[in-house]
Structure 1
Amino acid sequence: MTETLFSLTFTVAAPFWALMILLPRWSWTARIISSPLIVLPVVVIYALLVIPALGDVLTAVRSPTVDGVRDLLGTSTGAAAGWAHMIAFDLFVGRWAWLDSRERRVPAPVMAPVLLLTILLGPLGLAAYLAVRPRWRRPAAAASGPQHLG
């Protein structure tokens, strides 16, 4: 079962990455990616892996040591759970960057490599987006927030 869940992890996330990278201007992409629930399938996989091993996981993360984390991730279940953890957070960060880039009108050809880097090396993709993001300012209406009449 662990192998199946490991294999499913990226499979359930890949369509969302494909929409953001390959079809960034399609109207359905914005509708789908606007929901934070796109990470839910990966979160469910993570839960299926972690909950049965919760005692071992809590022991390793409550007072983390290099050896304790290595021992946890060195198991099949630990590696699969670690993978699901990374995929869920990478997708959530990629979603945030994509939505923010749409508001700022960052060109899709700029975002595609940033999103690919986020898929492959999550924190470096986030760093890349944070580096390019200041070049594009949010439109004045979006930056000032909702307007209240009164």
Structure 2
Amino acid sequence: MNPSAIFSFGNSFVLIGWILLLAIPNWKHTQTIVLGGVVFVLSIIYAFVLISGLGSFSLDSFSTLENVKRLFSEDQAVALGWIHYLAFDLFVGAYIVRKSKALGISRWLYSLALPFTFMFGPMGYLIFLIVKTIKTKTWNF
């Protein structure tokens, strides 16, 4: 798979998970499909791309901003990083849904955090933490 195909596939495939989390979060198979299906497949793709080699990747590739910029000047590294973002943001989205349901947080409230989690990762998680803290009046994780 070339980096462009990996990027395109990831962008389309991850939507399955996000649609399930937003449209039918209470369906008994949603978490299984999201975590055991979508995140699992993205993880396999990630592992395949990583194992197939990153060219200039070395142990110090993340040690300085300049090294990270150099690493991400390669299409394969950008595709790998993008799959990483997609998988982890979806994992966090699934966590937000699970935790919110366990705490009795309204679907409408926790759904506010999901688009932000999809597009901006940590910002969505921050919104969830604020909603959770207001709802439960506790600051715990």
Whether the TM-score (by the shorter chain) exceeds 0.5 is yes
Match of 1:114 in 2: 113
The CA deviation at 1:49 is 1.8
- Give secondary structure in 1 for the equivalent of 2:57: helix
**What pairs with 1:39-58 in structure 2 (closer than 5 Å)?**
39-54=39-54, 56-58=56-58
Match of 1:72 in 2: 71
Could you state the TM-score of these two structures normalised by the residue count of structure 2?
Answer: 0.83
Measured on the aligned residues, the alpha-carbon RMSD in Å equals 2.0
Q: Distance in 2 between matches of 1:89 and 1:80?
A: 14
Bigger CA radius of gyration: 1
Do the aligned partners of 1:13 and 1:87 also contact (CA within 8 Å) in 2? Answer: yes
- Give secondary structure in 2 for the equivalent of 1:53: coil
Q: Which runs of 5+ in 1 are unaligned?
A: 138-150
Alpha-carbon distance change, 60 to 8 in structure 1, aligned in 2, over 3 angstroms:
farther
User: Quick check: which one's helix share is greater?
Assistant: 1
Alpha-carbon distance change, 60 to 4 in structure 1, aligned in 2, over 3 angstroms:
farther
**What pairs with 1:114-133 in structure 2 (closer than 5 Å)?**
114-133=113-132
The CA deviation at 1:76 is 0.7
Q: Distance in 1 between matches of 2:78 and 2:49?
A: 10
Which residue type is aligned with residue 2 of structure 1?
Answer: P
Match of 1:20 in 2: 21
How far does the alpha carbon of each residue in 1:64-119 deviate from its partner, in whole angstroms, 9 at most, with x for none? 11011111112111110110111111111111111001111211111222000000
Q: Distance in 2 between matches of 1:14 and 1:52?
A: 26
Could you state the TM-score of these two structures normalised by the residue count of structure 1?
Answer: 0.79
Q: Distance in 1 between matches of 2:31 and 2:87?
A: 19
Match of 2:4 in 1: 3
Q: Distance in 2 between matches of 1:30 and 1:6?
A: 24
Do the aligned partners of 1:60 and 1:72 also contact (CA within 8 Å) in 2? Answer: no
- Give secondary structure in 1 for the equivalent of 2:63: coil
Alpha-carbon distance change, 30 to 6 in structure 1, aligned in 2, over 3 angstroms:
closer
Report how many aligned residue pairs link the two structures: 135
Q: Which runs of 5+ in 2 are unaligned?
A: 137-141
